[in-house]
């Protein structure tokens, strides 16, 4: 994916000399930087083929993938860490199933079982299943540590799913950090440094476009004052699917991973050091089983939080275009709303760079969302753009290890540093991972990770990556008869697990496509993704599916509302929901879609309204605000020619 920095004709001659000096310095030093720091043997640098074995008759035999433990099994593992369910537990209350003895800093490895309990405490309990939390769980699990991660809502339900979808270092921040100058001439040097820092064969180098070529490539650009454009390449990803893949990969390597599990309290030992947590299963409450609270015993607790960089973007993603972002103080809420003021500001910023005949309207906005970013503040900073785009690892006196700051680009580094610090402070002992599953699902592909107890963050591949290839979508079409755009979407979103998703899709009773009932006629999301999300990715609510397993709610809030009945019905079959539980899901999901930009007039829609097509009509005020219209009826005839 490539982006441009537009260059206007306001350069000053006085800046030419320092620009040339710095450019020369960068040229001389570049060879050393490139040789010393160029990444090698990175996963994905060589495209994996993953071609499955073939049997007689040319019929494809897909890989046999290992499956993660079910959510109930994961919760059972958590309960065993505190002896929940034993006779002792029932007769003596919580008690001290495990007592952590005070050592030099309160985290001595020696502990005593006061009763006969089979499971040891976890080495680490991670609170929060976002990018950093899931990354920590994967890093710790591949080092042989016993780790659990619990998330109050869903994986990537907070800030981690509301990024710019870029994986980058930030050209703006590079310029600000190195030179702290605002001169546009330095953009070129900044992008060249960016090329060096990227250091991968798979990323194209930046280059300059003349004015005419810039307009050829980007015809919507405003012509007035345009000198040319700098093109640079950056990485884009599907953030919430990346997050889910992190969590599921950690689970396959032995981590206990549970979403919709809220921490309601922290446990301390006699010395005042944290040694565990009390959690509540929110899914059990929804299913009418009443409050389900239990304890988790752990030697170290980690509370991660992440942030993403602030840049104004207008970029393609999942077939739509994302524009943003804003930075403003806000109240902390579970589902922050994007205000009309913020939306109008973004649209106004976009219009500044577009030709006058390109009118980006409020009605062109299909979805809008807002995320809350915790930042590590420089005490001298005057605004959020000057905030430190770094992270810190801190441990409180009670033993809570907190990781703050950072962004998607640095989550692996944050996880590595966090686990390193936890090992040091909590006196943990990494060990080889025994009986690790072959995540690739086939003997033909090596998992490429050495599970000897050392950090594997630079080697471990996420679930779906092992058998991915650019031609995999063709085999899906041939084997399952899915549509081309659906096949491409499945491969891009699930990698080699697209085999399983396609296999879980319903027959269409058509000659073509053979499989895959679309959730929305506008997008390539299909019914098999809902089943896969429930069976293999711990999806427990319709919002989990619509916003974080598929991305329909991020792409089109009204299309998500129209797909909601189908999603609830499929999830109801998978999770054995009764009619009351389905109705509860409807009542909770529609307000959630408001946080994704669903118009207020649609919030009172019933399932019957949606299924009958009534929500396709507009109220007068909504028509003015959202509908795509320029009033051509008085000027054009029915054939599109002047009347």
CA–CA gap between residue 85 and residue 430 (Å, rounded): 29
Indicate the pLDDT class of residue 185, thresholds 50, 70 and 90. Answer: very low
The pLDDT score that the predictor gives to residue 110 is 28
Q: Does the pLDDT at position 260 exceed 80?
A: yes
DSSP state, 274? E
Q: Does the pLDDT at position 464 exceed 80?
A: yes
Q: What is the pLDDT of residues 262-295, one digit of tens each?
A: 998 888 888 888 888 888 999 987 765 444 455 5
The pLDDT score that the predictor gives to residue 168 is 61
Among 32-41, 149-158, 206-215, 444-453, the minimum mean pLDDT is found in 32-41
- Residue 301 pairs with which residues in a beta bridge? 125, 400
Highest mean pLDDT among 246-255, 346-355, 465-474: 246-255
Indicate the pLDDT class of residue 202, thresholds 50, 70 and 90. Answer: low
Q: Where are the beta strands (DSSP E) in 207-258?
A: 207-210, 226-233, 235-236, 256-258
Q: Does the pLDDT at position 563 exceed 50?
A: yes
Burial 308-326 (b: 16+ CB within 10 A, else e): bbbbebbbebbeeebbbbb
The pLDDT score that the predictor gives to residue 296 is 52
The pLDDT score that the predictor gives to residue 193 is 62
| Cis-peptide, bond into residue 557, ω within 30° of zero | no
Q: Specify the higher pLDDT residue, 204 or 90.
A: 204
Indicate the pLDDT class of residue 360, thresholds 50, 70 and 90. Answer: confident
SS3 annotation, 408-457? HHHHHHHHHHHHHHHHHHHCCCCCCCCCCCCCCCCCCCCCCCCCCCCCCC
Q: Specify the higher pLDDT residue, 362 or 584.
A: 584
Q: Does the pLDDT at position 9 exceed 60?
A: no
Indicate the pLDDT class of residue 38, thresholds 50, 70 and 90. Answer: very low
The reply to whether CATH 3.50.50.60 applies to domain 71-88+120-160+240-307+390-426 is yes
Q: How far is CA 97 from CA 15, 25, 263, in A?
A: 70, 63, 19
Average pLDDT over residues 418-424: 94
The pLDDT score that the predictor gives to residue 231 is 78
Q: Does the pLDDT at position 44 exceed 50?
A: no
CA–CA gap between residue 131 and residue 155 (Å, rounded): 8
Highest mean pLDDT among 153-167, 329-343, 561-575: 561-575
CA–CA gap between residue 11 and residue 599 (Å, rounded): 44
Share of residues in the chain with pLDDT > 70 (%): 68
CA quadruple 544, 545, 551, 557: dihedral sign: negative
The pLDDT score that the predictor gives to residue 102 is 26
Backbone angles phi, psi at 216, to 5 degrees: -65, -45
Domain extents for the chain?
1-38+172-233, 71-88+120-160+240-307+390-426, 310-372, 518-632
CA–CA gap between residue 174 and residue 164 (Å, rounded): 17
Highest mean pLDDT among 58-62, 148-152, 298-302: 148-152
Contact 294, 82 (CB under 8 A): yes
Indicate the pLDDT class of residue 621, thresholds 50, 70 and 90. Answer: low
Q: Which residues contact 149 (CB under 8 A, 6 or more apart)?
A: 125, 126, 127, 128, 129, 133, 134, 136, 137, 247, 250, 255, 256, 257, 258
Take residue 63 and report the two structure tokens written for it.
Answer: 């890989």
The pLDDT score that the predictor gives to residue 484 is 97
SS3 annotation, 486-540? HHHHHHHHHHHHHHHHHHCCCECCCCCCCECCECCCCCCCEHHHHHHHHHHCCCC
Q: How far is CA 2 from CA 201, 229, 360, in A?
A: 15, 12, 22
Q: What is the pLDDT of residues 186-201, one digit of tens each?
A: 455 555 565 565 555 5
Among 106-120, 202-216, 257-271, 594-608, the minimum mean pLDDT is found in 106-120
Q: Does the pLDDT at position 46 exceed 80?
A: no
Q: Does the pLDDT at position 453 exceed 90?
A: yes
The pLDDT score that the predictor gives to residue 427 is 92
Q: What global pTM score does this model have?
A: 0.77
Q: Does the pLDDT at position 107 exceed 90?
A: no
Indicate the pLDDT class of residue 10, thresholds 50, 70 and 90. Answer: very low
Among 5-14, 156-165, 420-429, 468-477, the minimum mean pLDDT is found in 5-14
The pLDDT score that the predictor gives to residue 620 is 52
Average pLDDT over residues 522-537: 97
Q: Does the pLDDT at position 117 exceed 50?
A: no
CATH fold of 518-632 reads Helicase, Ruva Protein; domain 3 (1.10.8)
The pLDDT score that the predictor gives to residue 7 is 47
The pLDDT score that the predictor gives to residue 109 is 30
CA–CA gap between residue 532 and residue 549 (Å, rounded): 9
Among 7-16, 288-297, 440-449, the minimum mean pLDDT is found in 7-16
Average pLDDT over residues 74-86: 76
Q: What is the pLDDT of residues 135-147, one digit of tens each?
A: 999 999 999 999 9
CA–CA gap between residue 114 and residue 106 (Å, rounded): 19
Q: Does the pLDDT at position 33 exceed 50?
A: no
Rounded to the nearest integer, the mean pLDDT of the chain is 75
Q: Specify the higher pLDDT residue, 490 or 348.
A: 490
Among 36-40, 386-390, 635-639, the minimum mean pLDDT is found in 36-40
The pLDDT score that the predictor gives to residue 383 is 56
- Residue 24 pairs with which residues in a beta bridge? none
């Amino acid at each position: 994916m490539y982006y441009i920095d537009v260059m206007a004709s306001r350069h000053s001659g006085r800046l030419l000399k320092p620009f040339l000096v710095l450019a020369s310095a960068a040229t001389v030093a570049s060879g050393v930087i490139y040789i010393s720091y160029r990444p090698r043997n990175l996963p994905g640098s060589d495209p994996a083929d993953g071609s499955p074995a073939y049997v007689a008759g040319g019929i494809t035999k897909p890989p046999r993938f290992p499956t993660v433990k079910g959510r109930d099994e994961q919760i059972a593992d958590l309960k065993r860490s505190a002896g929940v369910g034993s006779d002792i537990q029932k007769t003596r209350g919580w008690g001290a199933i495990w007592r952590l003895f005070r050592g030099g800093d309160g985290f001595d490895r020696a502990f005593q079982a006061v009763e006969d309990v089979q499971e040891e405490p976890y080495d680490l309990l991670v609170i929060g299943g976002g990018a950093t939390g899931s990354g920590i769980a994967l890093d710790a699990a591949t080092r042989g540590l016993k780790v659990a991660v619990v998330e109050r809502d869903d994986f990537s339900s907070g800030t981690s799913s509301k990024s710019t979808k870029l994986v980058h270092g930030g050209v703006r921040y590079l310029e600000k950090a190195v030179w702290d100058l605002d001169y546009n001439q330095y953009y070129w040097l900044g992008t060249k440094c960016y090329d060096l820092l990227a250091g991968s064969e798979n990323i194209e180098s930046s280059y300059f476009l003349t004015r005419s070529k810039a307009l050829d490539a980007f015809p919507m650009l405003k012509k007035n004052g345009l000198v040319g454009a700098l093109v640079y390449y950056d990485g884009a990803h599907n953030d919430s699917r990346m997050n889910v893949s992190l969590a599921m990969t950690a689970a396959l390597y032995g981590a206990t991973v549970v979403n919709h599990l809220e921490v309601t309290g922290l446990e301390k030992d006699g010395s005042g050091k944290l040694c565990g947590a009390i959690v509540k299963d929110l899914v059990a409450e929804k299913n009418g089983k009443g409050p389900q609270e239990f304890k988790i015993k752990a030697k170290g607790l980690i509370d991660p939080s992440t942030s993403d960089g602030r840049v104004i973007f207008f970029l393609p993603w999942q077939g739509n275009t994302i524009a943003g972002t804003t930075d403003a103080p806000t109240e902390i809420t579970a589902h922050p709303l994007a205000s009309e003021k913020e939306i109008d500001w973004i649209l106004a910023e976009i219009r500044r760079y577009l030709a006058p005949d390109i009118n980006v309207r409020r009605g062109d906005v299909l979805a809008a969302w807002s995320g809350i970013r915790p930042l590590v503040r420089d005490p001298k900073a005057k605004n959020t753009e000057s905030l430190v785009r770094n992270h810190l690892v801190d441990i409180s006196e009670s033993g809570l290890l907190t990781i703050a700051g950072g962004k998607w680009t640095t989550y692996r580094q944050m996880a590595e540093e966090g686990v390193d610090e936890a090992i040091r402070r909590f006196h943990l002992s990494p060990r080889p991972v025994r009986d690790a599953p072959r995540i690739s699902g086939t003997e033909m592909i090596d998992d490429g990770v050495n599970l000897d107890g050392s950090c594997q963050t630079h080697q471990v591949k996420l679930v779906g990556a092992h058998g991915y290839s650019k031609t995999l979508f063709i085999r899906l079409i041939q084997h399952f008869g899915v549509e081309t755009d659906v096949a491409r979407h499945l491969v891009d979103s699930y990698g080699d697990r697209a085999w399983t998703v396609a296999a879980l899709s319903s027959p269409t009773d058509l000659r073509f496509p053979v499989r895959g009932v679309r959730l929305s006629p506008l997008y390539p999301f299909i019914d098999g993704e809902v089943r896969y999300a429930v069976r293999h990715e711990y999806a427990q609510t319709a919002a989990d599916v619509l916003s974080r397993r598929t991305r329909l709610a991020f792409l089109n809030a009204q299309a998500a509302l129209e797909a909601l009945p189908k999603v609830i019905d499929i999830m109801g079959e998978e999770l054995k929901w009764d009619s009351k539980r389905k109705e509860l899901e409807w009542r909770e999901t529609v307000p959630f879609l408001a946080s994704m930009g669903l118009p207020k007039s649609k919030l009172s829609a019933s399932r019957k309204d949606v299924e009958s097509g009534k929500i396709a009509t507009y109220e007068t005020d909504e028509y003015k605000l959202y509908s795509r219209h320029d009033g051509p009826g008085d000027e054009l005839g029915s054939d599109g020619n002047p009347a």
